[in-house]
Chains A and B, each alone.
Chain A
Amino acid sequence: MTASFINPVAAVLIIPATAAVLLVLMPGYRLTARLNVLASLMTFAAALTLFVTERPTPGTYVLIDDLNIVFIALNTFVGFTASLFSASYIGHELESGRLTPVYLRFYHAMYQIMMFGMNLAFVSNNIGLMWVAVEVATLTTVLMVGIYRTHEALEAAWKYFILGSVGIALALFGTILVYMTARPVIGEGSDAMVWTVLVTRAVAFDPALLNVAFVFLLLGYGTKVGLAPLHAWLPDAHAEGPTPISAVLSGLLLNVALYVLLRFKILMTANPAALAPGPLMVLMGLASLIFAAFMLYRRRDIKRLFAYSSIEHMGIIVFAFGMGGPLANFAGLLHMVMHSLTKSAIFYAVGHVAQIKGTQRIADIRGLTESHPALGWGLVIGVAAIAGLPPFGIFMSEFLVVSSTFAREPLLAVPLAFGLLIAFGALLLRLTGVAFGKPLGSTAPVAASYVPLYAHLALVLMAGIYLPPPLVAWFRHIAILLG
């Protein structure tokens, strides 16, 4: 009886943790790559059972509610497809000698530890544990960003490390302040760090101290989300690491930090006397969107281009959640899911492109649709989707964000629409060069894995045309929960 509902939660943590240990011990990259895929698939399956099994009552450490089930399902799904892509990607890296089998063993183990850290952050009900989990996930990605050990990769890892550590430190200070606010009301001990307890008692908290705490949390976790002006680590980390990691960083790790921010936002809104978190988030979101949109024009490196596009989209999502209200929250959630799927699909395509052409310079990549039709068109579809063209899901979510903003704050909608259009122009401009025209560079056939790429694109297309009613109902429910 008890075991029947504890299992899936435990499984999404134990499977990656066990797999990490096994992957360190096992030799042979083919075997470990397969085990990595298998473990990710099992974690995904375990996450899916969360939907149907009875949920555990929120305890000191674990919480499962409507909000985090969506995040866990998305996280494990993209984790699974990225592991598929990674299996075909690293074979090529071994051949070209950029990675050695020893590093690969380490890489696979780190991949699973990262999945463990992200899932732990999602299921944890304790704000201290949440912080530790985010730190674990960040540390493993730092190590993976630096795995090529080139000058550029080490620089990117170092920058990520220092900025990430400062973010971590500020977030911890915010967490301590939240505990200090809660202590006079809830009493000493672990209860004062349990999120569900905090939310129900938040009305009695001292609003001034809570405000200060939130500012620290916003800056700290905002660094991880990649919000301007704290985004400096993000483009380097995306450009210099292995492409599967770029996909996971953009598609998943940014979401983890966003999720933690959302939890604290709910906490803030539970206390009416405290500062409204919305305007701060709107401001940072808008700044990130417009800044990144302009930066898109000057990119010469293809992975960097899409890294800036991630900053842009995280800006839109934070903006939507900052606006709040059922419609904007719904749009923000949908946009987050769509962005994760589309951006990771783009990185799957870009990873193979960079391998064939042996370069990430946009100027050296031309005419992909002619030389590699399957890959080229995949990239074209992905970029069209991320730029917000109909009929893809991102068009719909962006449309919802803009229209709900117009209805409530027309003045804010103008810069929002402006930023979206600037980014749209930049992406299409770069796309035409890369995808069409006379092929440049190697035209050798490629042993790419198209399944993850097209599976994601199909999902995004489907979401744009038809959203299943149960999903809509679910998201609507969360949107109300988010306030």
Chain B
Amino acid sequence: MRGLVFDIAHLLAGSLVLISFVMLYQDRLYALLNVFAVHALVLAMSVTWQAYVQNAPHLYVTAAIALIFKALIIPVGLHRIIRQLGIHRDIETAVGIGPTMLAGMGLVALSLMLMLRVTAEADPLAREDIAFALSIVLLGLLMMVTRRNAVSQVVGFMSLENGLILAATAAKGMPLVVEISVAFSVLIAFIVIGVFLFRIRERFDSVDDSALDDYRGERQ
């Protein structure tokens, strides 16, 4: 039984890392959103499994937030925003897909080497989950720096945040996990509303943030 518990948790956390990789090379916004929805769904399953294994009913709330808010509401909302903005064509990648994937592999290797070494004494389940979680966080960061489109940056941030939730649930018995996931949901809701408002006010011609860099107040 112990073996099965470990294997399932391992499978789910590992899939999250894989899906993060899948997100890295999506060059269309709709596809990216669909993959993100799967990411959130797997997170919800992983959290549910942790809630069951740790016998921690409050984690079911976190799982429900991941499922309803991040796997359904946010992707659907972003779909609508993308359609209204008319930017459902290609994603501009600042860096090519090949180098991005290589960098991603390097980051995963780095986080596994770092976390497995420093957590040698922790229990194996938490140890592997925290290493995977760091990989997901770093892949999310990588996505944020390689994308120039504001919507895909938001998606990158949300995948990063999924990694944090994974870490928080893996740290057995951590208090405030539900509160933190609620706080993050509020933050994300604000970001999404922000993207939407930018456009509503028609202040920007596009949500490509390379346009944002034009103004620095210094170039006269």
Contact = CB atoms under 8 A, between A and B. Distances in A.
Nearest to A193: B175
Interface in A189-225: 189-190, 192-193, 206, 208-209, 211-212
Contacts of A162: 144, 153, 157
Given A128-B175, A158-B150, A206 B118 contact: yes
Nearest to A189: B173
Interface stretch (B79-87, B92-100, B164-172): B164-172
Given A131-B180, A135-B183, A158-B150, A180 B122 contact: yes
Interface in B192-213: 194, 198, 201, 203-204, 209, 212
A44 B41 CA distance: 47
Contacts of A92: none
A209 B119 contact: yes
A9 to B, nearest CB: 20
A180 B194 contact: no
A301 interface: yes
A173 B215 CA distance: 33
A126 interface: yes
Given A166-B144, A212-B114, A299-B218, A188 B187 contact: no
A132 B183 contact: yes
B194 to A, nearest CB: 7
A183 interface: yes
B157 A165 contact: yes
A408 interface: no
A154 B218 contact: no
A129 B121 CA distance: 27
Contacts of A212: 114-115, 118
User: How would you classify the secondary structure of chain A's contact residues: helix, strand, loop or mixed?
Assistant: helix
Interface in B155-184: 157, 160-161, 164, 167-168, 171-176, 179-180, 183
Contacts of A183: 171-173
Interface in B126-173: 126, 130, 133-134, 137, 141, 144, 150, 153, 157, 160-161, 164, 167-168, 171-173
Contacts of A188: 172-173
A180 B204 contact: no
A55 interface: no
Contact of A176 (B171, B186, B190): B171
A28 interface: no
A169 B175 contact: no
Nearest to B117: A208
B3 interface: no
B180 A179 contact: no
Nearest to B191: A161
A150 interface: yes
Contact of B194 (A158, A192, A208): A158
Contacts of B161: 169
Nearest to B179: A132
Contact of A169 (B119, B121, B137): B137
Nearest to B166: A176
A129 B175 CA distance: 10
A154 B119 CA distance: 42
Contacts of B217: 152, 236, 239, 300-301, 304
A131 B212 CA distance: 29
Contacts of B172: 183, 188
A150 B187 CA distance: 22
B209 to A, nearest CB: 7
Given A139-B187, A168-B187, A126 B176 contact: yes
Nearest to A176: B167
Contact of B218 (A208, A211, A298): A298
B118 A211 contact: yes
B64 to A, nearest CB: 20
A276 B49 CA distance: 38
Contacts of B141: 166
A368 to B, nearest CB: 21
A158 B209 contact: yes
A149 interface: yes
B171 A179 contact: yes
A166 B118 contact: no
B160 A169 contact: yes
Contacts of A298: 218
B167 A135 contact: no
A390 interface: no
A208 B115 CA distance: 10
A114 to B, nearest CB: 15
Contacts of B157: 162, 165-166, 169
Interface of B: 114-115, 117-119, 121-122, 126, 130, 133-134, 137, 141, 144, 150, 153, 157, 160-161, 164, 167-168, 171-176, 179-180, 183, 186-187, 190-191, 194, 198, 201, 203-204, 209, 212, 215-218, 220
30 contacts: A128-B180, A132-B183, A135-B187, A150-B203, A151-B204, A155-B212, A158-B150, A162-B157, A165-B187, A169-B137, A169-B157, A170-B137, A172-B180, A173-B134, A173-B137, A176-B130, A176-B167, A176-B174, A180-B122, A180-B126, A183-B172, A188-B173, A192-B174, A208-B118, A209-B122, A236-B216, A236-B217, A298-B218, A300-B217, A301-B218
Interface of A: 126, 128-129, 131-132, 135, 139, 142-143, 146, 149-152, 154-155, 157-159, 161-162, 165-166, 168-170, 172-173, 176-177, 179-180, 183-184, 188-190, 192-193, 206, 208-209, 211-212, 236, 239, 298-301, 304
Given A179-B174, A212-B118, 5 more contacts: A151-B203, A152-B215, A176-B174, A211-B118, A212-B114
Which 7 pairs across A and B sit closest by C-beta, in order of nearness? A188-B173, A128-B176, A208-B118, A190-B175, A155-B212, A301-B217, A209-B118
